[in-house]
Amino acid sequence: MAELRLGELAARMKGTVVQGDPERLFRSYGIDSRKAARGELFFAIRGARDGHAFVADAAARGASGAVVSSTESLGPLPPDFGLVKVADTTAALQDLAAGLVKDFNPRIVGITGSVGKTTTKEFAAALLGRKFRLIKSEGNFNNHLGLALSLLRLEKAHRAAVLEMAMSAAGEIRLLTRIAPPDVAVITNINPVHLEFFNSLEAIARAKKEILDGAKKSAKAVLNADDALVMDAAREFRGDKITFGLSEGSHIRAEEVVFAGLEGIRFRLKYGSRKADLRLPFLTEGYVQNFLAACGAASAMAVGLEEIVARASELKPFDRRGSVHRLGRNIVLIDDSYNSNPRALATALRGLGRIPAERRVAVLGDMLELGPREAEFHAEAGQEAVASGWQVLVTVGPLSRGAAQAARQAGLDPARITSFDDSGQAGRVVPGLVRPGDLVLVKGSHGMRMDIIADSILEAFKET
């Protein structure tokens, strides 16, 4: 974490110390009073809830100071509690982060795209981690607040930062690049996500393109050669372009791909002019694409093939993002409950549909923020489940009833289809539907809380 004194923090944020010792040192920063750490500087962000109402709570939990835009009605605070008053607490947080980036000058790897940002970020950080001392955005800290908070962990010794850059509206990625202009800009793909906020895939592509527009003049772009929208978005980019994918001519390419069931995926990696055989412990093609994108970032940062091979052997599935659980009674649970969208779901259904099992059971929750085409996308999910060989379908949420109806129309026995209103209801019943030898996929949008169902299956059958 950046170690800064209260007075210096105030100066960096164009604010004023109105209470507390300007010499007090801070090395921890946050915006959630419930998670306030001892000695933390708490930023009172105005959003759906006003952070100023929680300054006293943060202090009670151990915070030693706060950044506020008003000192009125803060509640009881210790007399030595530090207060910095600024014009806008969100802007102050972003200015502080941008200043640290400018001072410490790490190489910024910015990653955006509709699908696979977090996985690509984790892969890229792993591939770069031996050559560079680095930070990465934690979890899904990928917006105007999370990215800035991630950057407050910068120290002088850090030589790189691997950052996820997300958006739900035009202009948001441009703001993130102003905080941390990328040296390497990665676009994983352009898919039908957030269509509730955009009227077309082309509009999404224009918003994603902001990562290229906001990159440094010397930046390199890492682009999905298999995605025409990505390549079109980068047409005017004048810097070096590194392409990845399965397409002929990609700089970073997966060749001779073999899906080896629960053992993962084997392929030959083409890395520039060199090649190496690899195995990844992941089950679907999307992870290969994410890995190739990360390899593109590593190539842009001059990481050698030997290092790629060594680090690839250490990669492991991430919690609730396709993690594999071998349970009692020869049941296999694929917990992909963190999130979902039409492209990722179709890839999962097809890829996992290749794995032998007594029965394949798809437990699918609503996919949110799909706009006017939401009914169409859910119907396609039901059709894909049947086409990919899933013998049992469980749907969760009102939208996914459309998937159930489409599956019936595609020929799946209605007795093998069950629908629930929510994950709480499903979590109580689904374990009783699972039989010995089943392969069970649990997937849905984050807001559907499909993790409740995955956990209920884990609890019922225990891991072996």
Read off the pLDDT of residues 337-365 as tens digits, 9 standing for 90 and up.
999 999 999 999 999 999 999 999 999 99
Nearest CA to 245 among 257, 234, 237?
257
Mean residue pLDDT of the chain comes to 97
The dihedral built from the CA positions of residue 377, 378, 382 and 385, taken in this order, carries a sign that is positive
pLDDT at 140 over 80: no
Strand partners, 326: 332
* 371 in Cβ contact with 341 (< 8 Å): no
Half-sphere exposure of 182 (CA within 13 A, CB side): 33
Burial pattern 425-458, b for ≥16 Cβ within 10 A else e, equals ebbeebbebbeeebbbbbbbbeebbbbbbbbbbe
| Angstrom distance (rounded) from CA 188 to CA 286 | 10
Burial pattern 89-128, b for ≥16 Cβ within 10 A else e, equals bbebbbbbbbbbbeebebbbbbbbbbbbbbbbbbbbbbbb
| Angstrom distance (rounded) from CA 347 to CA 355 | 13
Give residue-wise pLDDT tens across range 250-276: 999 999 999 999 999 999 999 999 999
Q: Which segments of 178-330 are extended strands (E)?
A: 184-187, 220-224, 240-245, 252-259, 265-271, 274-280, 323-327
Confidence of residue 148 (pLDDT cuts 50, 70, 90): very high
pLDDT at 197 over 90: no
Give me the pLDDT at residue 196, please: 82
| Angstrom distance (rounded) from CA 237 to CA 418 | 49
> How would DSSP label each residue in 340-389?
--HHHHHHHHHHHTTS--SEEEEEEEPPPS-GGGHHHHHHHHHHHHHHTT
Give me the pLDDT at residue 1, please: 82
* 62 in Cβ contact with 83 (< 8 Å): no
| Angstrom distance (rounded) from CA 125 to CA 123 | 6
pLDDT at 464 over 80: no
Q: Which CATH superfamily is domain 105-312 in?
A: Mur-like, catalytic domain (3.40.1190.10)
Give residue-wise pLDDT tens across range 101-113: 999 999 999 999 9
- Alpha-carbon distances, residue 308 vs 133, 251, 376 (angstroms): 16, 15, 40
Residue linked to tokens 């980036």: 101
pLDDT at 23 over 80: yes
Give me the pLDDT at residue 145, please: 97
| Angstrom distance (rounded) from CA 263 to CA 384 | 24
Domain covering 323-461 in this structure, CATH number: 3.90.190.20
Residue linked to tokens 């209470």: 19
* 402 in Cβ contact with 322 (< 8 Å): no
pLDDT at 281 over 80: yes
Give residue-wise pLDDT tens across range 83-133: 999 999 999 999 999 999 999 999 999 999 999 999 999 999 999 999 999
> How would DSSP label each residue in 106-157?
PEEEEEE-SS-HHHHHHHHHHHHTTTS-EEE--TT--STTHHHHHHTT--TT
- pTM score, whole prediction: 0.94
Determine how β-strand 265-271 pairs with β-strand 252-259: antiparallel
What DSSP state is assigned to residue 275?
E
* 450 in Cβ contact with 430 (< 8 Å): no
Give me the pLDDT at residue 89, please: 99
Q: What percent of the chain has pLDDT over 90?
A: 96
Query: What CATH architecture applies to the domain 4-89?
Result: 3-Layer(aba) Sandwich (3.40)
Give me the pLDDT at residue 138, please: 87
Confidence of residue 383 (pLDDT cuts 50, 70, 90): very high
| Angstrom distance (rounded) from CA 360 to CA 378 | 19
Domain boundaries, the chain: 4-89, 105-312, 323-461
Amino acid at 29: Y
Give me the pLDDT at residue 279, please: 96
Q: Report residue 306 as tokens.
A: 């030997």
Average pLDDT value for residue range 223-246: 98
Confidence of residue 193 (pLDDT cuts 50, 70, 90): confident
Q: Give me the helix-helix angle, 305-312 and 117-128, nearest 10°.
A: 120
Q: Cβ contacts of residue 32 below 8 Å, gap of 6+?
A: none
